[in-house]
Amino acid sequence: MRQLAIPTMSEDRDFSALPLERTDELPPIRTLAGKYRLGRLLGEGGMGSVYEAEHLGLGTSVALKLLSERFAADPVSLTRFRREARLAAAVRHPNVIAVTDTGTDEFGVPFLVMELLDGESLASWIRRYGSISPTLAVAVTQEILAGISAAHDKGIVHRDLKPANIFLARQKDGSYCVKVLDFGISKLAVDNFDPEVTADGAVVGTPLFMAPEQASRLPNLDARVDVYSVGAMLYRMVAGRMPYPAAPFESSFAQLAKGHPLPPRSVRPEISNELQQVMLRAVDVDRDRRFRDAHEFREALDRAWPSASALHPIRLGGEDESSGDSREFYVPQISSHTPPSLTPRESAGPQAAPKPTREERQRKLALAIAVLLPAFILGMWGWRAMHPRQVDANRAHRRAAEMAGSGLVAHARKAVRIGVTAYMPKTLVQEQKKSLFDYLEQHLGRSVEMVVVDNYVDLADKLFAGEVDVAALSPYAYVKAKRRDPTLSVIATPVTRIGATHEGYVLSRVSSNIRRLQDLRDRVFCYVSPTSTSGYLYPRALFIREGMDPDSFFKATRFTGDHLAALSALKSEACDGAVVYANILFEARDHGLEPESFRILATTDRIPNDAYCLLDKGSNRAVLPALRAAFLSLEPGGDAARRVFSHGGQMIGFTQASDADYETVRNVEKILESHD
């Protein structure tokens, strides 16, 4: 076989003109069992590798898992690999990866053929987002349990459920289907396999998500080990941590033995007590107190958090924005550091001269100072003697320029008036905002006045009338005001403990028999106000999407004026259902309302937080930079923000915002307009 003639780099030749000889033989693309042509490597595991492959007869793409050669001569590994193929193929369910074929290559190494998936593992997903909304976490868990239920119906116990073995598979319509993978150490509960293969006397599985009885090498493992693993994954998704905190993995078993998991509501207070009890029961160290199998676990989840059932098929944030149905369900992790804005450098172009060296720059600077400084001093001395009045005028101009540079020229003798709405009783709003306004006053070096207005419409009118300088407008009020005057500019948006966006919750009382949206038919329903984004507009769009006409579905609708009043009206049975913004549940207990007494029926799309904005024209252009700097100095996680928001409320700082952040509000607005 001739070799390609490849010249060395030391040869002084024009390589582009060299002809390359063709080889008589090229390494063939490997084909297994005469019908699967191997393609790119998709991933490698402890026992083998997974490749993309083409079925030559059908022309379809598949995933092919090939056992590592070093295990091919090991009887235990061979048996375990073949059992994975047999058990996975026995479970036919949309939430379990489909195994379509098995075979051996020309060297006798076994392989199994599976459906080819597009997406990512649950492990990589929760690593990226930290924790996600309870509604989405429950929806994902429901699909995991659906697949595991099919396995349990066949008497198959998975025994190695963990985020790395759960795959979020993207479908053609942009939705996601949860797939359970890797039945490699599964066993049939009714079979008696060789102990070396089933490893009843060995710790087989992943310690972090392993049931205590499995970690303790107890015999007769059953479906309850899978219940524990799925419960641990649900806890990890919701709380952002494991139920039994332990530093190194080797101490996990000791923590399990204590049997005292951290209550998830201590990390995520917005979840219901009902959901917390389901989560704690799933990870109980005593398997006799756990759910019997995946079926029972799933039914309990449906009762505890029924709104999750509306999320099937699952859609993740940012995935199909053109359809208007994309939703952000993850909980953003607030960084303690926000990167500074970067200004693109101007290119010097292809003819740019080389930069002078440091020594050359220093010599030129010294020469300029020596020549020009004496002349400048003499000239200024003579000019001051001849024009004393002009000198005084220049001083006045400099003072004015300094004030303009600091952004305080627009209202040099007046307070900065910042308008907020009474989304709660006015006294509570004033109390919550006091530390923020004190800080802004100190940072700006001038008086800052809080103007509390009844609703967003009046607040926008006051902004346009010049009665307030800055307005904290709701997303919908901002969109309408921006349409009214395009010069409206966003200074910043607040960040709460659940991020720079929030949700609206449609609620009922736990004590009632209203468990889903459809149960609200011909009932009394409470909104907050016609101008509330989370308390009226987004919920109406949600009802329309669910096929409910919000104008005829309810027996009667009422407006309570603020979110706390809506929650109180629901508690007092003045209405059967109500909608509030999600953060109010964090604060409910402070006002004598127990959040666990409410059931979340549905969750709206993610809503951007309020827009702190002003009209970017006239004298406001001078004050804008100083105000923006003051708000953005309260960076979430920074020292200043921790001091200002140490009172325990939901706000933790401010972040940059732009008009584009409110485009989702305009999409909801279109839904409402098309309905009207």
Per-residue pLDDT tens over the stretch 383-399: 444 444 444 444 444 44
More reliable by pLDDT, 11 or 492: 492
Say yes or no: 283 and 165 in one domain: yes
Domain final position from 331, 352, 378: 331
pLDDT of 409 reads 39
Residues 111 and 133 placed together within one structural domain of the fold? no
What confidence tens digit (pLDDT) does each residue in 563-611 have? 889 999 999 999 999 999 888 877 788 788 888 889 989 888 888 999 9
Beta carbons within 8 Å of 146's beta carbon, 6+ residues apart: 93, 94, 95, 294, 298
Q: For position 354, what pLDDT does the model report? A: 44
pLDDT band per the 50, 70, 90 thresholds, residue 376: low
Task: State pLDDT tens for residues 115-150.
Answer: 999 888 898 888 877 888 899 999 999 999 999 999
- Domain total of the chain: 4
Are the CB atoms for 344 and 511 separated by under 8 Å? no
Per-residue pLDDT of 476-519, as tens digits, reads 899 999 999 999 999 999 988 767 788 889 999 999 999 999 99
CATH code of the domain in which 510 resides: 3.40.190.10
- The answer to whether residue 372 is domain-embedded is no
Q: Looking at residue 197, what is its pLDDT?
A: 40
**Averaged pLDDT for residues 47-68:** 87
What pLDDT is attached to residue 280? 93
Per-residue confidence (pLDDT) for residue 281, from 0 to 100: 94
Got the DSSP string for 166-182?
EEEEEPTTS-EEEEE--
Instruction: Looking at the structure, tell me whether residues 240 and 141 fall in a common domain.
Output: yes
533 and 476, same structural domain? no
What's the whole-number mean pLDDT along residues 222-232?
93
Residue 356 forms part of a structural domain: no
Instruction: Pull the structure tokens for residue 106.
Output: 């020309």
Beta bridge partners of 558: 526
Planar angle of CA 478, 480, 482, nearest 5 degrees: 65
Q: Provide mean pLDDT across the span 350-376.
A: 51
φ, ψ of residue 503 to 5 degrees: the values are: -130, 165
The pLDDT of residue 398: 44
The predicted model gives 522-545 an average pLDDT of 91
Would strands 448-453 and 416-421 be described as parallel, antiparallel, or unpaired? parallel
619 close to 519: Cβ distance less than 8 angstroms: no
The string of pLDDT tens digits covering residues 302-331 is 999 988 887 778 876 533 333 333 333 333
Residue 402 has pLDDT above 50, yes or no: no
Do both 628 and 511 map to the same domain? Answer: no
Within a domain: 364: no
446 and 325 share one domain? no
Residue 270 half-sphere exposure toward CB, CA atoms < 13 A: 24
Which pLDDT belongs to residue 645?
Answer: 87
Look at 104 and 401; give whichever has higher pLDDT. 104
Distance CA 383, CA 385 (A): 5
CB 406 within 8 A of CB 446: no
Together in a domain, 204 and 317: yes
pLDDT higher than threshold 80 for residue 192: no
The answer as to whether 212 is a domain residue is: yes
In a domain, 392, yes or no: no
Task: Tell me the whole-structure pTM to 2 decimals.
Answer: 0.46
Query: CA 355 to CA 429: how far, in whole Å?
Result: 57
pLDDT of residue 234: 96
- Domain assignment present for 227: yes
Query: In percent, how much of the chain has pLDDT > 70?
Result: 73
**Is the model more confident about 437 or about 90?**
437
What are the two backbone dihedrals, phi and then psi, of residue 549, each rounded to the nearest 5 degrees?
-85, 110
Say yes or no to pLDDT of 268 above 60.
Answer: yes
**Residue of higher predicted confidence among 95 and 425:** 95
Instruction: Check residue 104 and give its pLDDT.
Output: 85
Question: What residue numbers bound the domain in which 600 lies?
Answer: 504-605
The continuous run of DSSP H or E covering 374 comes out as: helix 358-386
For residue 628, the surrounding DSSP H or E stretch is helix 620-632
Domain-ending residue, one of 315, 331, 347: 331
What pLDDT score does 146 carry? 94
Q: Is the dihedral of CA 578, 582, 583, 585 positive or negative?
A: positive
Q: Which of 45-49, 173-177, 629-633 has the highest mean pLDDT?
A: 629-633
Lowest mean pLDDT among 225-234, 513-522, 617-626, 659-668: 617-626
Check whether residue 162 and residue 206 sit in a common domain: yes
Assess contact for 586 and 596: CB atoms under 8 A.
no
The SS3 call for residue 659 is helix
Among the three residues 92, 116, 140, which one is the final residue of a domain in this structure? 116
What CATH number should be reported for the domain holding residue 257?
Answer: 1.10.510.10
The one-character DSSP state at 473 is: E
User: What residues have CB less than 8 Å from 272, skipping those under 6 apart?
Assistant: 304, 305, 510, 595, 596, 598, 599, 600
Looking at the fold, whether 664 and 595 belong to one and the same domain comes out as no
9 within a domain of the structure (yes/no) = no
289 located within any domain:
yes
Mean pLDDT for the chain overall:
76
pLDDT tens by residue, 403-448? 444 444 344 447 899 999 987 778 888 888 999 999 999 999 889 9
Contact 585, 270 (CB under 8 A): yes
**Do residues 98 and 136 share a domain?**
no
pLDDT at 316: 67
- Measure the CA–CA gap between 161 and 205, rounded to whole angstroms: 8
Measure Cα distances from 62 to 35, 65, 101, 419 in Å.
12, 10, 10, 60
* 332 prior amide bond cis, ω within 30: no
CATH of the domain at 98: 3.30.200.20
Q: Pick the catalytic residue from 160, 284, 293, 610.
A: 160
Active site annotation includes 320: no
C-alpha 402/C-alpha 408 separation (Å) is 9
Q: At what angle do helices 273-282 and 224-239 cross, to 10 degrees?
A: 130
pLDDT of 552 reads: 92
pLDDT for 391 equals 43
597 with 626, same domain?
Answer: no
Whether 527 contacts 579, CB under 8 Å: yes
Question: How many helices (H) and strands (E) in the chain?
Answer: 21, 26
pLDDT tens for 608-638 read 999 999 998 887 888 888 999 999 999 887 8
* Three-point CA angle 171, 175, 181, nearest 5°: 60
Domain match, 593 and 626 both: no
Considering all CA atoms of the chain, what is the largest pairwise distance in Å, rounded to the nearest integer?
110
- The one-character DSSP state at 314 is B
Task: Give the DSSP H/E element, type plus range, for residue 398.
Answer: helix 388-405
Which phi and psi angles does 31 have, rounded to 5°? Answer: -125, 130
